Amino acid sequence: MSESISNKQMYHIVETICDTIEEQQQYLSDLDGELGDGDHGVNMAKCFREVRKKVEPVADKDCGTILKTVGMYVMNSVGGAMGALYGTMFLKLAAECTGKTEVTLDDLARMFTAAENGIRTIGKAQVGDKTLLDTVAPAVASLQKSAAEHKSLTEALAAFEMAAKNGMESTRDLIAKMGRASRLGERTIGHLDAGATSCYFILRSFAHGVEK
Amino acid sequence: MKKFINDPFNLVDEMLDGFLAVHKKKIRKLEDVRSIARTDAPVAGKVGIVSGGGSGHKPAFIGFCGEGMLDAVAVGEIFTSPPPLACYEAVKAANGGKGVLILLGNYAGDVMNFQMSADLSAADGIEVEQVILTDDVASAPKGQENRRRGVSGAFLCWKVAGAKAAAGGSLAECKEVVERVNANTRTIGVALSPCTVPAKGSPTFVLADDEMEYGVGHHGEPGTERIKMMSLDDTVQKMMNEILVDLPFTKGDNVAVVINGLGSTPQIELYAAFRKVKSILDTEKINIENAYVGEFFTGLEMAGFSITLSKLDPEIKSLLDAPASTPCYTC
């Protein structure tokens, strides 16, 4: 792997996200059904099917344009908490790589730091509240550490994926503090958070999409 | 799932097409977003009142858009908050130059999306305030009122806010009076059968034939208890016991009562429920000034109802009685 992500690879990343969400649709809805209204997979799949169509015409544009196209669609179509949070995430990622056709590890760390801050501002959750922030925060911390230690992009993305996975897994033992599931209190222990899980699939796609 | 639908994902647009065609004298659709406004919005020199949320709660929210109530409404997918742009366009459509008050239920998605729309509006120089409604006693314990869901008490808040704005109230005055209504309003719901979100296709919960979901939310959220069926009077008594102590409502209070059907409970049962509410309040020497029985805030085809009690003062009472002309409520 080269030491940067090209705009072509960024497009592959988005395609990988769309594929993964489609594949995991039922699983995400089943998870959501345990604690929420059970439509997370359906809504995410519907959203990313449209994202695929919206991104195709900008496939050869810069990384910022590709991610902004994703963010604008997610933000202003699906609604719900997920629209706001994932819309914010992609728009913040995009804003940090405007005009770039190559994104280095340092860029990626800065992009995801901005995304995490955006999610914290709009979602008002803390780590440990059983939300997608539990996936995002450790993954971003891992990326920052890899960047500071000048790791290779390959190593950094592998660590990023692993940290996201562990973060997602951590939600199993947590009590939900935000959103609809928070009304269920201790009944939420033992269940993975659906948002943390879809977020893992998105972050994982950054690692897998680059390999394409 | 047995429903009269085509593609589940087109249902909200198809409903909206029909609704707008029927009520075209009172409301119109905004361009490019799924939001509506009263036909004469923005009303110059009047505070704009905006609300919105997921669909599936008919007649809420769009049924109360019109003179004396809501100026504009953002429409979401079924049980899903509308996106920021829809909320933002609703705010702009309602802005008559005196600021805009957004009233929203306390749900994570609504809070986030309306906050973003408020930020966008503020960046445009529109003065915006928000009140987050929290009347459902079953959704968080006393002392944590700000964590509670907003449910059918919203109807009273929309009515009062709209009337205050129509009477020339400032943005701060409109906000204050709605906060007063919200602080003095308590609701609890009970369900006999669930609803099915079309895109999901299976019921939100499953109840045995002899069970009720007590404290249920307007989207079929689990309640505080699953209990055996009881008679109407015993059910109402249990609900009233909880509401009365929560505020508390006490002897000599003047109140408004809303008996709200959750979707498929017939009016015959709702009026019978009101009769029991009245007898309990008579015994407690609490005076019913305003009473509303019907469907105001449903959860698709859920069977069940909610009881809302709201303590009135003379100003709130007169604002409830002020004229309104909307697709689904006129007085």
Are the Cβ atoms of A183 and B140 closer than 8 angstroms?
Answer: yes
Task: Report the C-alpha gap between B308 and B292 in whole angstroms.
Answer: 10
CATH 3.40.50.720 fits B12-183, yes or no: no
| CB B308 within 8 Å of CB B135 | yes
Question: Which chain A residues are within 8 Å of B222, Cβ to Cβ?
Answer: 183-184
Which ipTM score applies to this complex? 0.90
Shortest CA gap A157–chain B (Å): 30
Shortest CA gap B54–chain A (Å): 8
For position B276, what pLDDT does the model report? 98
Task: Report the C-alpha gap between B207 and B220 in whole angstroms.
Answer: 12
Give domain B185-319's CATH architecture: 2-Layer Sandwich (3.30)
For position A212, what pLDDT does the model report? 61
Give the DSSP H/E element, type plus range, for residue B292.
strand B287-294
| Average pLDDT in chain A | 94
Lowest mean pLDDT among A178-192, B18-32, B311-325: A178-192
SS3 content of chain B, % helix, strand, coil (to 5): 35, 25, 40
Q: Provide the token pair at A177.
A: 């503090």
Q: Which residues pair with B263 in a beta bridge?
A: B302
Q: Of B214, B197, B204, which is closest to residue B57 (Cα–Cα)?
A: B197
Minimal Cβ distance to A75: which of B83, B149, B220: B83
Domain map (residue ranges) of chain A: 4-211
Task: Report the C-alpha gap between B323 and B325 in whole angstroms.
Answer: 7
The predicted-structure confidence for B159-212, as pLDDT tens digits, reads as follows 999 999 999 999 999 999 999 999 999 999 999 999 999 988 888 889 999 999
| CB B42 within 8 Å of CB B94 | yes
Positions of B marked active-site: 57, 219
Shortest CA gap A151–chain B (Å): 36
| CB A102 within 8 Å of CB A5 | yes
Can you tell me the mean pLDDT for A95-99? 97
Q: Which residues pair with B257 in a beta bridge?
A: B291, B309
Superfamily (CATH H level) for A4-211: DhaL domain (1.25.40.340)
Residue A8, Cβ density class (10 Å: 0-12 exposed, 13-18 middle, ≥19 buried): middle
Q: Give residue ranges of A with CB < 8 Å to any B CB.
A: 29, 37-39, 42-43, 46, 75-85, 87, 122-123, 178-180, 182-184
Question: Which chain A residues are within 8 Å of B202, Cβ to Cβ?
Answer: 38
Size of interface A-B (CB pairs under 8 A): 89
The predicted-structure confidence for A48-67, as pLDDT tens digits, reads as follows 999 999 999 999 999 999 99
Q: Which residue in chain B has the smallest CA separation from A179?
A: B108
Q: Which residue in chain B has the smallest CA separation from A82?
A: B109
| Average pLDDT in chain B | 97
Are the Cβ atoms of B77 and A78 closer than 8 angstroms?
Answer: yes
Domain map (residue ranges) of chain B: 12-183, 185-319
Question: Which chain A residues are within 8 Å of B79, Cβ to Cβ?
Answer: 37, 39
Task: Report the C-alpha gap between A28 and A25 in whole angstroms.
Answer: 5
The predicted-structure confidence for B61-120, as pLDDT tens digits, reads as follows 999 999 999 999 999 999 999 999 999 999 999 999 999 999 999 999 999 999 999 999
No. of helices (H) and no. of strands (E), chain B = 8, 12
Q: Is B132 helix (H, G, I), strand (E, B) or coil?
A: strand
